[in-house]
Amino acid sequence: MELQEVEQLAKLARLKIDQDHAEQLRTECSKIVALASQLASVDTEGVPAMAHPHEVSQPLRPDEVTESSCKDALMALAPAQEEGLFLVPKVIEEA
């Protein structure tokens, strides 16, 4: 990776870096790109895609209602309401 590329990435990310730090980042980014290239060169033909290295399944709990509705208590706290809906002040003015 070239120093100009690091400076461009820093500009796009809105990062302010000095020249010494830019050189250090260039070195680190070059190592990352080299590792990605090394990984891309590995032959994965015939290797099934997997989300987890172990054969596990996610246990699921039953989809049951465990809490009662507290809508009435919450609506009682609202300074303004209408037909079961909160009324809020207008925050966007029409042009």
Establish if 23 belongs to a structural domain. yes
Are residues 29 and 1 in contact, defined by beta-carbon separation less than 8 angstroms? yes
Is residue 22 situated within a structural domain? yes
Q: Which amino acid is at 80?
A: A
pTM score, whole prediction? 0.47
Residue 53 lies in a domain: no
Range of the domain at 25: 3-40
In this prediction, residue 43 carries a pLDDT of 92
User: Residue 26 falls within a domain, yes or no?
Assistant: yes
Burial profile 63-92: b = 16 or more Cβ within 10 angstroms, e = fewer: eeeeeeeeeeeeeeeeeeeeeeeeeeeeee
Handedness of CA 14, 33, 1, 31 (dihedral sign): positive
Residue 61 included in any domain = no
| pLDDT one digit per residue (tens) for the chain, 95 residues | 888 998 898 999 999 988 888 999 999 999 999 999 999 999 989 988 888 888 888 888 888 888 888 888 999 999 999 998 999 988 887 76
